Chain A
Amino acid sequence: MMHFEFHVEGGNFTKAGAASSQLKKILKQLNVDPKIIKRIVVALYEAEVNVVAHAFQGDIFIDIDTEKIGIKLVDQGPGIADIELAMQKGYSTASSSVREMGFGAGMGLPNIKNNSDELKITSEVNVGTTVEFVTYLNQ
């Protein structure tokens, strides 16, 4: 069992992806199948970009065992009023600066869902959002 934590700064696009990059290096060292690595880091990267794009700050908690990897992102920010709506492809509240970075087209949460085996989102408006997902390593 391995545990890692990363801090994410809201609004700082130069650092967005730093945690995903670290995790990719760790999973490579653990000899995880490259296809599974891609699923995991794409999901985490989308989630990390979401924190940078929408929240003030957030923390990432990662637990890896021999069967699966569990990732939890807890942010302090505006929260999501309607999670079902946010899950729809094409729905976005992203600012123009986020769109200039190549994101904000309403694809992030659906992309996380596609690249994980279990996904749970809880949110409180004006407090923050927690995104948890699990990906199995042997498929």
Chain B
Amino acid sequence: MKIKEVVELLNAKVVSGQALLDAEVEYCFASDLMSDVLTVETDNLLLLTGLANLQTIRTSEMSDISKIIFVRKKKATDEMIRLAAENEMILIECDYSMFKTSGILYKSGLKPVY
């Protein structure tokens, strides 16, 4: 699935990294705990999280994750957007809960990592 389809399905807003809208995504992982994100070995991962701070971006940088969706109306700060741009990431803000977001994406064919 293309990221722009994900954005449409979730009625979400892209706040950084528009250039990645045509990128493909196959797997998704949902977590607020960054230590759990750091254990995932799957490549080309979409991260769903309700944790919106600088460590979300740092964790993604270390894990080679370039696509992040913030759920539960969490907003990316300017500093997060700056760090994300430096690392060529796309940041998306979504007003839905983690459960609803996961359900929509699962139903649409995104795969779990385990």
Contact = CB atoms under 8 A, between A and B. Distances in A.
Given A42-B63, A101-B53, A102-B53, A111 B58 contact: no
A41 B33 CA distance: 18
Interface residues on B, range: 20 to 34
Contacts of A17: 54-55, 58-59, 61-62
Contacts, number: 68
A107 interface: yes
Contacts of B39: 107, 111, 114
Given A24-B62, A38-B62, A42-B62, A16 B55 contact: yes
B38 A101 contact: no
Main secondary structure, interface of B, reads helix
Most buried by A among B35, B61, B63: B35
Contacts of A42: 38, 62-63
B101 interface: no
Given A45-B38, A46-B35, A111-B38, A102 B62 contact: no
Most central of B59, B61, B62 by chain A CB within 10 Å: B62
Given A38-B63, A42-B62, A105 B33 contact: yes
Interface of B: 32-39, 41, 51, 53-56, 58-59, 61-64, 79
26 contacts: A13-B54, A16-B54, A16-B55, A17-B55, A17-B58, A21-B58, A21-B61, A21-B62, A24-B61, A38-B62, A41-B62, A42-B38, A45-B62, A49-B55, A101-B55, A102-B32, A102-B34, A102-B37, A103-B55, A105-B33, A107-B33, A107-B35, A107-B38, A111-B38, A111-B39, A114-B39
Interface of A: 13-14, 16-17, 20-21, 24, 34, 38, 41-42, 45-46, 49, 100-103, 105, 107-108, 111, 114
